[in-house]
Amino acid sequence: MMTKKEKRERMKQDKGIVDFMMVTNHFFRKLRDWIAEMDDPRNPSYITDNQTDLNYMAILKNVCGQHSMKEMEENFNKENCIRTLRLMSGNRRLDEMPHYDTLNYYLEKLSPECLSELRKKMVVSLIRGKQFNRNRLLGKYWRVILDGTGLSYFKEKHCDNCLCTEKQIE
């Protein structure tokens, strides 16, 4: 367990969105291009915001813990946010956050296959780059990560199939 002091130290080092962008650019150098290459479902004559802007805005919304489009609209209406989105999407002409109606409309129309292709490209690039290799258990076993720990939780082992967490004594 982290102590409160350790937590404070960790918070001090947290550079927020800068860290996020460094990690993204490091592992997914071509993410922007991949996003821009997706089939844009909108009528080309009505497009004002490009796909990269919209997708990065959606990513920012989730990364920044904005629970609703309305909350995002209010909190993102700042010069800093526009600059951040401009950096992330690489669109130097961006001078205003896209409207959330535009984002909603776009996400409604976008084919889920496009996003699943995007995810596939990300996973493939992690595998090709051997990013997981040095984290193998005992140097040879692949770890499988399951995110389902909160689905059922019991204080006592309630059946033979239950996984248990054990406290490590140092």
Binding interface with Zn ion (CB under 5 A): 158-159, 162
Rg (CA), the chain: 20
Closest distance between Zn ion and the C-beta of residue 150, in Å? 15
Closest distance between Zn ion and the C-beta of residue 14, in Å? 36
Nearest-angstrom CA–CA distance, 6 and 64: 23
Phi and psi at 94, nearest 5°, equal -70, 120
Closest distance between Zn ion and the C-beta of residue 163, in Å? 8
For tokens 């080092």, name the residue.
13
Q: Which is nearer to Zn ion, 12 or 155 (CB)?
A: 155
Nearest-angstrom CA–CA distance, 1 and 10: 13
Q: Which is nearer to Zn ion, 151 or 169 (CB)?
A: 151
Closest distance between Zn ion and the C-beta of residue 160, in Å? 7
Q: Which is nearer to Zn ion, 158 or 167 (CB)?
A: 158
Q: Which is nearer to Zn ion, 126 or 162 (CB)?
A: 162
Q: Which is nearer to Zn ion, 107 or 162 (CB)?
A: 162
Phi and psi at 153, nearest 5°, equal -140, 130
Residues paired with 141 in a beta bridge: 137
Which runs of consecutive H residues, i.e. helices, occur in the chain?
A: 4-13, 17-27, 31-36, 51-63, 69-75, 79-89, 100-109, 112-128
Length of the chain: 170
Closest distance between Zn ion and the C-beta of residue 144, in Å? 19
